[in-house]
Amino acid sequence: MLQMNSAKPSESINDTPKSLTVGASVDVLLGALRLDVWGRLGWLEIRRRYRRTVIGPFWSAISLAMFVVALGLVGSGLWGQQAGEYMTFLAAGFVVWVTFSSMLVESCLLFINSSNIFGQVQLNYSILAYALVWRNLITFGHNFVVYVILVLIFAPQYLGTVTLLAIPGLALILFNGIWIALLLGMLSLRYRDIQQLVASVVQIAMFVTPIFWPPEALKASGRSLVFVDYNPLYHFINIARAPLLGEVPTTQNYIVVFVCTIVGWGCAMAIFAHFRKRIAYWK
């Protein structure tokens, strides 16, 4: 009898974290299978944003085109490049940056905007993350038209078999967007200051990351280590941008992205497993 009683507490202690981990993993896996739910949620959000507009999501592409042309005419003179080539460089990087930065900012509102339904229906929380990534992919598709037009006019030599490497690059970015959405969504729901912090960091990162300026510009000054080599955002952007410019991403780009993917998913799943049951109460 003593042996039986002493075994029960040890079993309950060992089973608790295991069940929590399995619960989080099952949530993510089952959420991925509910394409009918997160696919519709993402599409409805796009429709809601552009309700009563004539051209809908293409307003995002028009705004991007105006920005690229205006900044391209100025930036080409600053960096001593041809206007057409610089605008193509700017468009290739900016369509990727807009997608990545939008996922970062919107992730902070993932559970805040949906907290009213947590106590009413049972759902896999990861469905909200998949819907967020899906709607940003839709927006990317509209913005990508700007790059296609510019590259066909000014730099058709960039198009080739290497361009296809942008597909796995974009897939890696979207795959990381899922754990980013879950992690920032939980942190922002619990600590509302995270939302303001992320928005501020994204604004600053847009200028210190090689999006408006070529990475080679800092090599002469010796500052490329800080803003390029040690900047994970640059590596994420470059795995999709480099192929669009007819270049193969570097081995360093892929190594940094893979390390961030493994570490990010590991941390996000650990936190998700531990606090998943509390999300509905953090309103």
| More confident of the two residues 156 and 280 | 156
pLDDT at 56: 77
Averaged pLDDT for residues 78-104: 89
Name the pLDDT band for 118 (thresholds 50, 70, 90): low
pLDDT exceeds 60 at position 3:
no
Residue 11 pLDDT > 50, yes or no?
Answer: no
pLDDT beyond 50 at 181: yes
In the prediction, which pLDDT does 202 show? 94
Cβ pair 140, 95 in contact under 8 A? yes
Distance CA 53, CA 42 (A): 18
Q: Is 14 exposed, middle or buried (0-12, 13-18, 19+ CB in 10 A)?
A: exposed
For the chain, give the mean pLDDT: 85
Contact yes or no for 210/228 (Cβ under 8 A): yes
Residue with tokens 């570097």: 250
* Residue 208 pLDDT: 87
pLDDT value at position 19? 35
CA distances from 216 to 167, 228, 240 (A): 25, 9, 18
What is the model's pLDDT at position 16? 36
How many beta carbons lie within 10 A of that of residue 145, not counting itself?
16
What is the structure's pLDDT at 21?
39
Provide the H-helix boundaries in the chain.
2-33, 35-49, 58-78, 83-107, 115-118, 126-154, 166-190, 193-208, 224, 232-244, 251-275
User: Could you tell me the two tokens for 157?
Assistant: 């030599």
Residues, the chain, total? Answer: 283
Check residue 22 and give its pLDDT: 42
Task: Using alpha carbons, select from 233, 174, 186 the residue that is nearest to residue 208.
Answer: 233
Residue 203 pLDDT exceeds 70? yes
Give the per-residue pLDDT at 13.
Answer: 33
pLDDT of residue 74: 83
* Interval 13-31: pLDDT, tens: 333 333 333 478 888 999 9
Q: How confident is the model at residue 6 (pLDDT cuts 50, 70, 90)?
A: very low
Residue bearing the bigger pLDDT, 163 or 75: 163
Contact in structure between 237 and 214 (CB atoms under 8 Å): no
pTM: 0.86
Average pLDDT over residues 229-248: 93
What pLDDT is stored for residue 14 in this prediction? Answer: 38
Which two structure tokens, joined as six digits, stand for 145? 């038209």
Q: Could you report the per-residue pLDDT of 59-77, keeping only the tens digit for each?
A: 888 888 998 988 888 877 7
Please determine, for residue 46, whether its predicted confidence score (pLDDT) is greater than 70.
yes
Q: What pLDDT was estimated at residue 78?
A: 73
- What is the predicted pLDDT for the residue at 115? 66
